[in-house]
Chains A and B, each alone.
Chain A
């Protein structure tokens, strides 16, 4: 009887913390999480099994770093710089970029590489390249500063986010599709253009 009552009133809690809404203690429980989350949902997508003849879909990992105390316009330059490089090359080059954002981007890429190996079934950590890399605007906190003649100015303390997607395999030869033509291609193109000409009002 005692055991039955004990079992009836026993409370077993199961904590499935998936959405870490309450990790930031200061916010109220009913406020929305303002951090970007849709980019990380790409990681959770489950693809159907591929057909036999299909090309193998390369493994990828999406990672982000939020609330970086840096301007997102300035971070864009570093994000652009890193696009299309292999992970090793990117990390090497970023060590020599003289900008504050470079350290954030480098950290993010290293974390993403780590995640790829541990959670996303990537065999070799060097066999990754940066498929997507972009910056987003975080919160801007406004402050005031004074100018001459009693005028007031606005100071923006800017935060930004950085998103990166690493893909397995070799990077494409020409990520930005600059498509430089070699000598033979240029010659052929010129010849084609010359041959396409028409003398009007002729046979």
Chain B
């Protein structure tokens, strides 16, 4: 009720002010001069508040981690994933070099020898034939003192032969390069050294 009275009072004041303005009171000479500046639209500043909103929410733990949860995180579970490392029981000694390797896997030390030899052969192929890609025929590698197996000359047409200037390594037997897709031969006149 009182607010209505104040509203009415305001209205009357405004009316009085406007009427007096029409009749030139207060005089125009006493008016304050100012320039109307046109405000350019400012680029809206990017603050953290735009993302977060008015209240800053930071993640905080709500409850203390129980010892069971801590242990589960640290050790895992024997039923699912056990996080602790278990000694392996499938490690055996390589018969040829004496180093350790897992059962069912190649001995790493022995394989390094194979790798080195392969690299040498590949370098030789690259040097002699220009490229390493298997085109259509595979490469026949011969070591010191080895001869091609007896075959008619047409057999060797197109086949690529590499001669390594060294002795055959002990572990590199001929039947390592035996083809699994080739049918076993029926002939009985094969020299023992040329088997496979």
Interface positions of A (Cβ within 8 A of B) = 77-78, 80-81, 85, 89, 92-93, 95-97, 149-151
Chain B residues contacting A81 (CB-CB under 8 Å) are: 84-85, 87
Known: A149-B51, A151-B51. A96 touches B88 (CB 8 A): yes
Task: Say whether A77 contacts B85, CB under 8 Å.
Answer: yes
CB nearest to B99 among chain A residues: A95
Chain B residue at smallest Cβ distance from A81: B85
The dominant DSSP class at the B interface is loop
A95 to chain B minimum Cβ distance, whole angstroms, is 6
CB of B102 within 8 A of chain A?
yes
Within the complex, which residue of B46, B51, B91 is in contact with A93, where a contact is CB–CB below 8 Å? Answer: B91
Smallest distance from the beta carbon of A177 to chain B beta carbons, Å? 16
Identity of the chain A residue whose Cβ is nearest the Cβ of B100 in the assembled complex: A92
B46 neighbours in A (Cβ, 8 Å): 150
B18-44 contact mask (Cβ, 8 Å, vs A): 1 or 0: 000000000000000000000000000
Minimal beta-carbon separation of A79 from chain B (angstroms): 10
Query: Inside 8 A of B84's CB, which chain A residues have their CB?
Result: 77, 80-81
Query: Would B83 and A93 count as touching, CB distance under 8 A?
Result: no
Chain B residue nearest to A73 in the complex (CB): B74
Given contacts A77-B85, A81-B87, A85-B87, 17 further A-B contacts (CB under 8 A): A77-B83, A77-B84, A81-B84, A81-B85, A92-B91, A92-B100, A93-B87, A93-B88, A93-B91, A95-B100, A96-B88, A96-B91, A96-B100, A149-B51, A150-B46, A150-B48, A150-B51
Q: How far is the CB of A81 from chain B (nearest CB, A)?
A: 4
Give A81 to B87 CA distance when docked, in angstroms: 8
The interface residues of chain B lying within 8 Å CB-to-CB of A80 are 84-85
In the bound complex, CA of A51 to CA of B91 (Å):
44
- Which residues in window 41-88 of B have CB below 8 A to A? 46, 48, 51, 83-85, 87-88
B51 touches A97 (CB 8 A): no
The complex places the Cα of A43 from the Cα of B102 at a distance, in Å, of 37
Of chain A, the residue at the smallest CB distance from B105 is A96
Q: How far is the CA of A48 from the CA of B103 in the complex (A)?
A: 49
The smallest beta-carbon distance between B118 and chain A, in angstroms, is: 24
A-B contact pairs, 16 of them (CB 8 A): A77-B84, A77-B85, A78-B85, A80-B84, A81-B87, A85-B87, A89-B87, A92-B91, A93-B87, A93-B88, A96-B88, A96-B91, A97-B85, A149-B51, A150-B46, A151-B51
**Distance to closest chain A CB from B117 (angstroms):** 24
Q: How far is the CB of B43 from chain A (nearest CB, A)?
A: 16
Inter-chain contact B85/A96, CB cutoff 8 Å: no
